[in-house]
């Protein structure tokens, strides 16, 4: 793919015609599906912390229509890892960040859990478009038909 990724039509500042803007808005609407399963609340298997994060993200994303039912699984995974990170962070502060083994200090298992959870949180948040830059990458660009130059057409027919 050459060039920059296409932006959502509502945040696009480039000069595109009214028809092109309308076509993009139609394309964006065609890729949306229902969100009723998301709005039913967090899956019951999520912890209290994960469910709260899930519901917070769904509520925030509702204003821009970011998620739909197809995002439920990845959003639940994100929330679950968020909860795991929070829990490991609390335990690391309680028990200490390092343990002494002989004359060396090594990070506790909680630090490793936090690191793995943070990696998964970032991967899921990228897929979900939780950062502005990630949201702009979610719209799949389509090749727009170029307008024919009427002068070239005139020369070819002449």
Q: Which H/E stretch holds residue 83?
A: helix 72-95
* pTM greater than the 0.75 cutoff: no
Give the long-range contacts of residues 4-9, CB within 8 A, separation 24 or more: 5/136, 5/137, 5/139, 5/141, 6/139, 6/140, 6/141, 7/136, 7/139, 8/135, 8/136, 8/139
Angstrom CA distances, 72 to 19, 24, 44, 84, stand at: 34, 25, 13, 18
CA gap 110, 113 in Å, rounded: 5
Q: Going residue by residue through the chain, which has 158 residues, state the pLDDT in tens, using 9 for 90 and above.
A: 455 555 555 545 566 677 777 777 777 666 666 777 888 889 999 999 999 999 999 988 888 777 888 888 999 999 999 999 999 999 999 988 888 888 898 999 999 999 999 999 999 998 888 887 777 665 555 555 566 666 666 666 65
Number of H helices, E strands in the chain: 7, 2
């Amino acid at each position: 793919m050459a060039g920059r990724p296409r932006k959502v039509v509502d945040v696009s500042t480039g000069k595109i015609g009214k028809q092109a803007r309308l076509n993009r808005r139609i394309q964006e609407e065609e890729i949306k599906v229902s969100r009723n399963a998301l709005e039913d609340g967090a899956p019951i298997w999520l912890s209290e912390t994960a469910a709260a994060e899930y519901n917070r993200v769904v509520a925030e994303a509702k204003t821009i229509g970011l998620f739909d039912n197809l995002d439920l699984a990845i959003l639940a995974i994100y929330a679950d890892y968020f909860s795991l990170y929070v829990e490991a962070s609390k335990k690391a502060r309680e028990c200490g960040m390092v343990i002494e083994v002989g004359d060396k200090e090594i990070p506790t298992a909680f630090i490793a859990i936090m690191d793995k959870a943070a990696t998964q949180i970032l991967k899921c948040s990228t897929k979900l478009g939780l950062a502005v830059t990630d949201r702009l990458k979610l719209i799949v660009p389509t090749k727009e038909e170029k307008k024919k130059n009427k002068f070239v057409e005139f020369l070819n027919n002449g």
